């Protein structure tokens, strides 16, 4: 008898067995909100941060509905990157193996770029029950009339905001257009940008919307550190920080592919063994880099935001923002690569005065920074970058208090304003003396 709390849902016995094997004991908040909705056949939007259990929120109910007797596509799951597609596929296999009873096994296939398309087409003489993959490759197979999605009743759009950023919504649109009108669409996203809304409106009529606010904006066991650039060369400061921190595995984030290559090349010139991940790598190069990362061939990886959302890299001890992301939501995604599975992590941002506004906005949403500086190879506590603002604020508070204490006389005489100002100055001096005690 299962003791996990998933047995409140009308799952088939093999799903409960799989959940036990996976070690899940209680549904996460997004799973509690989405699983009943999905099992009722309703279209839904699930908004929550990375690492909240979104994948199993849709996989468990979808796998529960698959009929292995029907040799046709019953569900299509799209994801923005090859790596994420493969991760979802691997999770499907972990669950589907519990339903395996010879002829009645659930067949899932992963279709991503960088694989032999012709060979894939030949294997599609028998259609899988579940299709997972990147929108471009799935759409190619549909256009080739090799993959038949018109039989599927469910479409998942995972990491929808990243799909939008990477220009894949057109392909998703093309796939959805070939599917039934009463299609159940499940959209999962960390954010819902305005540009995503026309797509949602086109395919989803009054969808259920579930938004899970993170209990905290980033994990408690992440230390957020600011290091001022000052008059130093940025690449030199980055190199010195990497040497001082000596991470188990560090990801250095840049905003563009060009900058990622530039930073990686310069670090290599300085003698570090560095991997790189961005959208311009060929499929073969990406596969090779991911294998090298898993083998711990690199201590340092330079990456664009593709690695913040689309790729899962285990064992990251440090995240370094060479540049703050233009979309500040990505700060949370970036730092979320570390401090996983109960471990602590450090997120370092190299900042310049032009970053003050962005840092202030991050502080408003709950990020608490400590300022450190690197002096002669040693990281030391540095002066708070907000010290001047705090000093001005303190001065304003003393001024206000002093003016409240000095009252305007009932009968005014010539020069009374000068006398009031003199008294205010005396009161301010007195307040400053008291604060210093």
User: Does the residue 148 lie in any domain?
Assistant: yes
Helix (H) or strand (E) holding 282: none
User: Does the residue 151 lie in any domain?
Assistant: yes
DSSP string for 401-433: HHHHHSPPPSS--TTHHHHHHHHHHHHHHHHHH
Does one domain contain both 70 and 175? yes
pLDDT at 76 over 70: yes
d(CA 91, CA 93): 5
Contact 23, 13 (CB under 8 A): no
What was the pLDDT predicted at 393? 45
125-160: pLDDT as tens digits: 999 999 999 999 999 999 999 999 999 999 999 989
For the segment 225-239, the average pLDDT, to the nearest whole number, is 96
CA distances from 100 to 16, 56, 109, 172, 247 (A): 14, 19, 15, 30, 43
Taking all residues of the chain, what is their mean pLDDT, rounded to a whole number?
86
Does one domain contain both 198 and 234? no
Domain count, the chain: 3
343-401: pLDDT as tens digits: 889 999 999 998 988 898 888 778 899 999 998 889 999 887 765 444 444 445 556 66
What was the pLDDT predicted at 392? 42
Residues with Cβ within 8 Å of residue 110, at least 6 apart in sequence: 85, 86, 89, 132, 133
> Any idea what DSSP says for residue 145?
T
160-183: pLDDT as tens digits: 988 887 889 999 999 999 999 999
d(CA 272, CA 259): 17
Domain end among 211, 231, 255: 211
Domain end among 192, 211, 230: 211
Contact 77, 88 (CB under 8 A): yes
What was the pLDDT predicted at 252? 97
Helix (H) or strand (E) holding 253: strand 250-253
pLDDT at 245 over 50: yes
Does one domain contain both 151 and 35? yes
User: Does the residue 79 lie in any domain?
Assistant: yes
Does one domain contain both 200 and 262? no
Task: Return the CATH number at 20.
Answer: 3.40.50.300
What was the pLDDT predicted at 388? 47
User: Does the residue 336 lie in any domain?
Assistant: yes
Does one domain contain both 162 and 206? yes
Which has the closest alpha carbon to 207: 189, 195, 220?
189
289-322: pLDDT as tens digits: 989 988 989 999 999 987 766 677 888 999 999 9
What was the pLDDT predicted at 234? 97
pLDDT at 411 over 70: no
What was the pLDDT predicted at 225? 96
Coil, strand, or helix at residue 390? helix
Burial of 139 (0-12, 13-18, 19+ CB in 10 A): buried
Does one domain contain both 139 and 108? yes
Does one domain contain both 337 and 401? no
What was the pLDDT predicted at 117? 87
195-218: pLDDT as tens digits: 888 989 988 888 999 988 765 556
What was the pLDDT predicted at 358? 87
Does one domain contain both 114 and 181? yes
Parent domain of 195: 5-211
260-281: pLDDT as tens digits: 999 999 999 999 999 999 878 8
Domain end among 191, 211, 231: 211
For the segment 21-28, the average pLDDT, to the nearest whole number, is 88
User: Does the residue 389 lie in any domain?
Assistant: no
pLDDT, greater one: 254 or 329? 254
Does one domain contain both 367 and 401? no
pLDDT at 52 over 90: no
178-197 per-residue burial string, b: 16 or more CB within 10 A, e: under 16: ebeeebbbbbbbbbbeeebe
User: Does the residue 388 lie in any domain?
Assistant: no
User: Does the residue 217 lie in any domain?
Assistant: no
pLDDT above 70: percentage of residues in the chain: 85
User: Does the residue 392 lie in any domain?
Assistant: no
Does one domain contain both 247 and 324? yes
* CA distance between the termini of the chain: 67
Characterize the bridge pairing of strands 130-133 and 108-111: parallel
Does one domain contain both 75 and 150? yes
Does one domain contain both 99 and 24? yes
d(CA 417, CA 431): 21
């Amino acid at each position: 008898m299962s003791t996990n709390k998933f047995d409140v849902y009308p799952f088939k016995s093999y799903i409960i067995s799989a959940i036990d094997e996976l070690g899940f004991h209680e549904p996460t908040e997004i799973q509690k909100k989405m699983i009943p909705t999905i099992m009722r056949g309703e279209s839904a939007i699930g908004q929550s941060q990375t690492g909240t259990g979104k994948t199993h929120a849709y996989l468990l109910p979808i796998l529960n509905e698959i009929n292995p007797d029907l040799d046709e596509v019953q569900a299509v799951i799209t994801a923005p990157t090859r790596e994420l597609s493969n991760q979802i596929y691997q999770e499907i296999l972990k669950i589907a193996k519990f339903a395996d009873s010879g002829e009645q096994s659930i067949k899932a296939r992963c279709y991503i770029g960088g694989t032999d398309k012709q060979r894939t087409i030949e294997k599609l003489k028998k259609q899988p029950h579940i299709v997972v993959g990147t929108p471009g490759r799935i759409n190619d197979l549909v256009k080739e009339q090799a993959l038949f999605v018109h039989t599927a009743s469910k479409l998942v759009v995972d990491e929808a905001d990243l799909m939008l950023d990477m220009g894949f919504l057109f392909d998703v649109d093309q796939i959805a257009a070939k599917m039934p009108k009463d299609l159940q669409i499940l959209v999962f996203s960390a954010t819902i940008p305005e540009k995503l809304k026309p797509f949602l409106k086109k395919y989803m009529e009054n969808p259920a919307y579930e938004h899970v606010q993170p209990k905290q904006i980033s994990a408690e066991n992440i230390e957020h550190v600011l290091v001022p650039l000052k008059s130093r060369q940025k690449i030199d400061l980055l190199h010195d920080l990497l040497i001082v921190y000596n991470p188990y595995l560090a990801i250095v984030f840049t905003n563009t592919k060009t900058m990622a290559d530039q930073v990686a090349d310069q670090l290599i010139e300085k003698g570090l063994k560095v991997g790189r991940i961005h959208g311009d790598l060929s499929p073969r190069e990406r596969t090779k880099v991911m294998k090298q990362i898993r083998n711990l061939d690199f201590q340092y990886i330079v990456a664009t935001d593709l690695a913040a959302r689309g790729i899962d890299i285990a064992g990251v001890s440090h995240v370094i923002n060479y540049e703050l992301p233009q979309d500040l939501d990505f700060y949370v995604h970036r730092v979320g690569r570390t401090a996983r599975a109960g471990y602590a992590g450090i997120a370092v941002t190299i900042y310049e005065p032009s970053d003050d506004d962005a840092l202030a906005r991050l502080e408003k949403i709950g990020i608490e920074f400590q300022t450190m500086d690197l002096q002669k190879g040693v990281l030391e506590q540095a002066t708070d970058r907000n010290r001047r603002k705090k000093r001005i604020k303190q001065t304003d508070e003393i001024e206000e208090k002093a003016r409240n204490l000095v009252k305007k006389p009932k009968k005014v005489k010539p020069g009374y304003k000068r006398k009031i100002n003199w008294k205010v100055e005396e009161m301010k001096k007195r307040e400053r003396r008291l604060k210093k005690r």
